[in-house]
Structure 1
Amino acid sequence: MITRFTVIRNAEYDYAIHDLSHDVPAGWTDLLVIGSWNDCQAYIRKAHQCQLMVDRQPIELAAID
């Protein structure tokens, strides 16, 4: 049996690799990136590189500005 994974993200834009055989935890959104562990890692690395170009302050602080 091959385990499949997906990438999930929370409101603070933290990413995680999640086993598809389990429900997505509360507070996390499934980004529908389905593949192997390595596929999901590659997606997160790419997303993280893009985010380095934008302001990374917590959402709560961004709302104050």
Structure 2
Amino acid sequence: MKIDILTLFPKLFESVFSESLIARAQTKKIAAITIHNLRDWSIDKYKTVDDKPFGGGPGMVLKVDVV
């Protein structure tokens, strides 16, 4: 089983997956988990991944060019 995780906080997942049942599954080659940092695909020098909603209103949304 192959699992890819897209996140802004990769270290949060690394600690969980190294000390759990999932770590055993990875050792036995039952599961392959890859954690991807969304900031690696950001195109500006500040590694920005979010933007204001185009329709207005509160909150933030992920940029299309990053995802």
The reply to whether TM is greater than 0.5 is: no
Q: Which has the higher strand share?
A: 1
The two structures have a TM-score, normalised by structure 2, of 0.26
- Bigger-Rg structure (1/2): 2
Per the normalisation by structure 1, the TM-score is 0.27
